[in-house]
Amino acid sequence: MSPNVYQFLDVARAEPAKAPASERIRDFNEIYGCFDAASAAQQAGRCLDCGNPYCKWQCPVANHIPQWLRLVEQGNLFEAAELSNETNTLPEICGRVCPQDRLCEGACTLNDGFGAVTIGAVERYITDEALSQGWRPNVRPVSGTARRVAIVGAGPAGLGCADILARNGVRPVIYDKYPEIGGLLTYGIPPFKLEKDVIKRRRQLLEAMGAAFVLNTEIGRDVPFERLLNEYDAVFLGMGTYRFVSGGFEGENAHGVHQALPYLIANVQRVMDPDCEGGDDLSMRGQRVVILGGGDTAMDCARTALRQGAASVTCAYRRDEANMPGSRREVANAREEGVQFLWNRQPVAIDTHDNGWARGVKVVTTVLGNPDAKGRCKPQPIPGSEETILADRVLIAFGFAPNPPDWFERYDIATDARGRVRAAAVAPNGGYAFQTYNPKVFAGGDMVRGSDLVVTAVFEGRRAAEGILAYLEATAPLAAGSP
Ligand code: FAD
Ligand code: SF4
């Protein structure tokens, strides 16, 4: 029990310090600072220990939140880090990028009137601070068994899978087509939300646990999938979703119209290596930029364009603010930084100059109809409401759909009508968690559930690893030194 269970009455909810908007748009550094020991303990001490930890049930990896909050309050940092890293492969990253307002903090008992405990910021503090003080995850040596599992994709799902395999003495070998690990953590989420050194540090930890990375290697092109099936005891696929959703309107391929992800990747590459080739091709410096979309990717594009020195940045979304999918925190940050929002505007065409370059976006105003079965209101255009928003560059952020490669079919890796790999947390007919129709192949993350979140991909990768361990055990017991 806390020495003072009513601390939440005396201590208000507080976030770590945030750089002022006018300063933070001058660089790509993370905008939030980190708690120090005293403020972390004070915020952690606001936890009521309410008995039924709704926060934990709402956290996809079921973190032991009240327990590590208590340890932080008591100053037992290393114990808190051990506990936090037991249930989450990337706690310092989830602490930064999870939409806590609709997960753990949204479910906190204090959220109803007093302000939720700042769970995400404390989670981040625990691992950042413990690592800087020399703490390292306590894992058994990886020489436990001679089993090896190939992982395709070094994103959150692949890393979650590697973590659990390594902790159980099975050596994970992770292939990725990019030169760095992280998937969308590195080549998607901008550095002002997640600095790239945080991912490099996680790479070192995973390597110290026995994980091996084979980078710049695309499976199906540089290495045939068949080789993984022949050389490894099982294979996990965590390849993400990379087909851009298009708007299907006229002018989408005009000059000056770009898809969100290539734009964000080009920016990350330039931040990581300012001398990289072609780095300036996708700069928005001096341009009037319009972003189409209302999710986190749209916010990331808008805030990146501002930092690149855009003359103006406007985000047009077809529903209203209350119905946009983006995290409230990120919308607020974008607004503070100077992004303009146009709600209830649906794009119908890109207006172009005679030379084929974008001149603006033709939009219609919408009203929201009744909610559908999923509770989402369909926008309905108002006749005669057409207008053009002038723009030199247009960024399209309508989301991502699965892109299963041709070779899946050859190896019995089945997909559903939307292209998502068929695999489930609770496998039917006595199968193993996240096993595909090919018994030796498992899958998880965005390619199974569709574009979602870092923490749900971590959960699926970890759960799939448990499925793989059970499958290996059933094929031949996992005794030390077994083939
Ligand atoms: P990915 O992260 O996509 O990783 C897949 C990996 O597989 C990639 O590294 C890819 O190179 C590799 N790969 C694919 N095919 C092959 C192949 N044939 N051979 C070798 N390697 C291959 N989520 C949040 O929780 N918070 C956020 O703030 C947030 N912001 C986001 C911002 C943007 C711009 C985007 C695009 C997404 C954001 N997300 C956010 C979503 C989150 O990043 C994803 O849900 C998560 O990364 C999915 O993890 P994954 O491992 O399934 O796939
Ligand atoms: Fe909250 Fe995400 Fe951390 Fe779970 S992983 S406690 S949802 S911030």
Q: What are the tens digits of pLDDT across the range 320-368?
A: 999 888 888 899 999 999 999 999 999 999 999 999 999 999 999 999 9
pTM of the model: 0.95
Distance 298 CA to ligand 1 centre (A): 16
Q: Is 211 in the pocket of ligand 1 (CB under 6 A)?
A: no
Which ligand places an atom closest to the C-alpha of 237? 1
- 455 C-beta closer than 6 A to ligand 2: yes
pLDDT of 139 above 50:
yes
420 CA from centroid of ligand 1 (Å): 14
The pLDDT of residue 483: 37
Q: Is the pLDDT of residue 238 over 80?
A: yes
Q: What is the pLDDT of residue 482?
A: 41
- Residue of 68, 98, 194, 452 to mutate, ligand 2, most atoms within 8 A of C-beta: 98
Percent of the chain scoring above 70 in pLDDT: 96
Has residue 274 got a pLDDT over 60?
yes
pLDDT at 2: 47
pLDDT in tens, 68-106: 999 999 999 999 999 999 999 999 999 999 999 999 999
The overall average pLDDT reported for the chain is 93
pLDDT of 221 over the 90 cut: yes
Tokens for 342, please give them: 């146009």
pLDDT confidence band for 475 (50 / 70 / 90)? confident
